[in-house]
Amino acid sequence: MQVVIEFVVPESGPCKLVQPVFAACADRYHPNAVFLKVEIEDDIGDLHKVAASYSVKSFPTHIFVINGKVADSVSGPITEPAFNQIIDKYLAEAQGKSKIELITEEWDHSMVFECAIKEEFDSHMRVVDTDQLVVIEFVVPGSGTCKLVQPVFAACARRHPGTVFLKVEVEDDIGDLHKVAASYSVKSFPTHIFVMNGKVVDTVSGPITEPAFNQIIDKYLAAAAAATSTA
């Protein structure tokens, strides 16, 4: 079992900054990892001694423990993608599995997979079966139109469990996820890309209703089923 310990001090700006990240990761990895938050309020109490036992010298600091031993530590603020990357690494090592195998297992209990970094997107695309339909949603945070279509995307994902649904939030014009969007010729948001056998078969830009979304998916699933039956 992996244990992640967060050492923080109350009222610290950097500590407050990382706590939503810590909470999000705890939700994502439960029950495969245990997340413990330790607030240090003074320099002499028992919790300060706990921090000292892990050689914590600044706050926030995150300690990653595997089988009772410290495997890694990160001092200072950390982004959610970077946090996930560390946890994925040690979970994979502990289970003797690659990150791709862990992602494959994740498909059993999740409908929409959010890709926070390009590496996550690439990993999902690598493990897709050749005859499996992939629907990619490109959105930007804070967009009213993008928020409007996300419940539709989630509902379609629940209806079509055999289809892979990937959500990509593009936050700037220069990052790796923007390059992913550009590789699919995405020029406006939201845009939905439908991929079959590694090739783009359809693209929808702008808002889309749930019936229209399901109609497109059903069309390509039916075509795939027909191709399989005649093979």
What is the average pLDDT score of the chain?
A: 85
Q: In this predicted structure, what is the pLDDT of residue 134?
A: 94
Q: In this predicted structure, what is the pLDDT of residue 231?
A: 61
The residue among 213 and 89 whose pLDDT is bigger is 213
**Mean pLDDT in residue range 84-95:** 80
CB atoms within 10 A of CB 188: 10
* pLDDT reading at 100 higher than 80: no
Min mean pLDDT across 28-32, 65-69, 193-197 is at 28-32
- pLDDT > 70: what percent of the chain? 92
Measure the CA–CA gap between 40 and 49, rounded to whole angstroms: 10
Measure the CA–CA gap between 122 and 116, rounded to whole angstroms: 11
Nearest residue to 165 (alpha-carbon basis) of 204, 208, 217, 222 = 217
Measure the CA–CA gap between 78 and 50, rounded to whole angstroms: 22
Q: What secondary structure letter does DSSP report for 111?
A: S
**Mean pLDDT in residue range 50-73:** 91
Nearest residue to 202 (alpha-carbon basis) of 163, 169, 170 = 163
pLDDT classification of 107: cutoffs 50, 70, 90: very low
Six-digit token string for 180: 């992913």
For Cα atoms 20, 37, 61, give the angle at the middle one, nearest 5 degrees: 80
* pLDDT reading at 32 higher than 60: yes
Residues near 168 by Cβ (< 8 Å), separated by ≥ 6? 115, 121, 136, 137, 138, 139, 177, 180, 181
The answer to whether the beta carbons of residues 64 and 12 sit under 8 Å apart is no
Nearest residue to 135 (alpha-carbon basis) of 118, 117, 152, 116 = 152
Q: In this predicted structure, what is the pLDDT of residue 84?
A: 82
Instruction: Calculate Rg over the CA atoms of the chain.
Output: 21
pLDDT tens sequence across 113-163: 888 888 888 888 887 777 789 999 999 988 889 988 888 898 888 888 888
Measure the CA–CA gap between 226 and 133, rounded to whole angstroms: 14
Q: In this predicted structure, what is the pLDDT of residue 129?
A: 73
- pLDDT > 90: what percent of the chain? 39
The residue among 103 and 50 whose pLDDT is bigger is 50
pLDDT tens sequence across 168-201: 999 877 788 999 999 999 999 999 999 998 899 9
Min mean pLDDT across 6-15, 209-218, 221-230 is at 221-230
Measure the CA–CA gap between 93 and 116, rounded to whole angstroms: 22
Please name each of the domains of the chain with its CATH number: 2-96 (3.40.30.10), 110-230 (3.40.30.10)
Measure the CA–CA gap between 67 and 55, rounded to whole angstroms: 18
* pLDDT reading at 93 higher than 90: no
The answer to whether the beta carbons of residues 132 and 164 sit under 8 Å apart is yes
Q: In this predicted structure, what is the pLDDT of residue 101?
A: 56
